[in-house]
Amino acid sequence: MALINLAAREINYKIVYYGCGLCGKTTNIQYIHRRVNPGARGRLVSIATEEERTLYFDFLPLSLGTVKGLRTRFHLYTVPGQSFYNASRKLVLQGVDGVVFVADSQISRLDENVDSYLNLWDNLMSQSEDPSNLGIVLQMNKRDIGGIFSVADLTELLNHTGSPVIEACALTGVGVFETLKTVCKQVIAKSSRT
Amino acid sequence: MARRRGLVINDEQMQMIDGVLTKLQRVTSSSFVALISTSGQPITMVPADADADTLSLAALAAGSFAATRQLAEVLKEREFTLLFHEGKESNLHVIQVTEQILLLLTFGRETQVGRVRLYTSRALEVLKPIFEDAEDTSGGDGIIDGEYSRAAGTAIDDWFPTQNE
């Protein structure tokens, strides 16, 4: 849910990066944290295991500045990708405005991608609020390595909503900001009355 | 399926909320009182100039509270409505106001926990009706319109780097 504080002239949106384990969700957030203007970002908070796998979530607040008199913020979260952390994923999805589904493009990760995608929709539907009001972007990550699916094949598998698709390599930053910009614009458009 | 709900807080509601929080801070001798959403977003805090990273605090407290509710479910308890962390120098108390709102207080060891619980429960009685009125199903109360969308779109294009630099 977008949270609008008229007294403070402030609006906050929540965006969640979703996907299977090791697909690059945290890498996206870390790249954004490194490259965005330090004045526009808050602290990157990570709740991770000793092996640096996400245990609960990563969190990065970003400020867009003041738009039409409203201070506009985006709060970026990741979910833990490993299948047994579903309870945590459901919690992180609470009140979400936009989702970036990060797909691992490798053919060997087909089952994990599909499981995660189905799990995303199961969890969204269980929130009892209409997911068609969410901004959704499909990021195809790891496009720089061999043994990967074509864009058309991954789109067929993981994009039943016809959402925007962005090819990326989160490690080097290719497509990372394009993804972020696309989902930010989507959540604002979806929350707009007109 | 219901339309997604948002939360819109106007000037009058915020004045009432800040009044309740200021009084609560005084009577409980808390160092810091804040309202946050269950989705992890800060709403307001008293004192306004408190030296705290409220964005991180809100995200972590909301996550922690959500996990506590799930613990209740696992233990077949109907609900745990509050969360308490005891530290060496300070304590953190988080309690649910409405389905979408949490109240968070930090206070030192000189303050009795019972006192905090008593006055917090009184504050909840005042805060609950305010937030029931603030729940929004109208699409941002008309604030987020086409003009805002276009201006935000331009700001997003200008703000984030377009290529790897």
For chain B, domain boundaries? 6-159
What pLDDT, in 10s, does the model give residues A78-102? Answer: 999 988 888 889 989 999 999 999 9
Any idea which residue has 């807080």 for tokens?
B9
**What residues have CB less than 8 Å from A104, skipping those under 6 apart?**
A19, A20, A22, A23, A24, A112, A113, A141, A142
Using 50, 70 and 90 to split pLDDT, how confident is the model at A63? Answer: very high
What is chain B's mean pLDDT, rounded?
85
**Residue A183 has what pLDDT?**
97
Number of A–B residue contacts, CB under 8 Å: 178
Which CA distances in Å does A2 have to A60, A68, A98, A137, A189?
Answer: 16, 16, 10, 18, 12
Domain that holds residue A169: 3-191
* Residues on chain A touching B148 (C-beta within 8 angstroms): 67-68, 70, 188, 192
What pLDDT, in 10s, does the model give residues A2-53? Answer: 788 888 889 999 999 999 999 999 999 999 999 999 999 999 998 887 777 8
Q: Reply yes or no on whether the pLDDT at B156 is more than 90.
A: yes
As a whole number of angstroms, the distance between CA A26 and CA A188 comes to 23
**Residue A1 has what pLDDT?**
63
**Residue B140 has what pLDDT?**
55
Does the CB of A55 have a partner CB in chain B at under 8 Å? Answer: no
CA distance A99 to chain B (A): 14
Query: Number of structural domains, chain A?
Result: 1
Does the CB of B52 have a partner CB in chain A at under 8 Å? Answer: no
Which of A47, A55, A68 to mutate against chain B (most B CBs within 10 Å)? A68
**Residue B138 has what pLDDT?**
45
Does the CB of A69 have a partner CB in chain B at under 8 Å? Answer: no
As a whole number of angstroms, the distance between CA A193 and CA A4 comes to 14
Residue A181, amino acid: K
Mean pLDDT, range B5-19, rounded to an integer: 86
Does the CB of B118 have a partner CB in chain A at under 8 Å? Answer: no
Which of B43, B146, B155 comes nearest A64 by C-beta? Answer: B155
CA distance A126 to chain B (A): 11
Which of B2, B6, B155 comes nearest A65 by C-beta? Answer: B155
Does the CB of B66 have a partner CB in chain A at under 8 Å? Answer: yes
* Residues on chain A touching B6 (C-beta within 8 angstroms): 1-4, 191
B9–A7: do the CB atoms touch at under 8 Å? yes
Superfamily (CATH H level) for B6-159: Dynein light chain 2a, cytoplasmic (3.30.450.30)
Answer yes or no: are the C-beta atoms of A40 and A63 closer than 8 Å. yes
B18 burial (CB, 10 Å; 0-12 / 13-18 / 19+) is middle
CA distance B110 to chain A (A): 30
> Where residue A148 sits, what CATH number does that domain have?
3.40.50.300
| pTM for this predicted structure | 0.89
Comparing B132 with B148, the larger pLDDT belongs to: B148
Q: Tell me which residues of chain A, numbers 138 to 167, contact chain B at a CB-CB cutoff of 8 Å.
A: none
Does the CB of A108 have a partner CB in chain B at under 8 Å? Answer: no
What pLDDT, in 10s, does the model give residues A6-18? Answer: 888 899 999 999 9
Which of A4, A8, A61 comes nearest B140 by C-beta? Answer: A4
Q: Are strands A135-141 and A165-167 parallel, antiparallel or unpaired?
A: parallel
A181–B40: do the CB atoms touch at under 8 Å? no
What pLDDT, in 10s, does the model give residues B98-144? Answer: 988 999 999 998 899 999 999 999 999 999 999 887 765 444 556 77
Which of A1, A68, A180 comes nearest B39 by C-beta? Answer: A1
Predicted-complex ipTM score: 0.86
What tokens does A48 get? 């991770």
What tokens does B38 get? 């269950």
Any idea which residue has 């990060």 for tokens?
A102
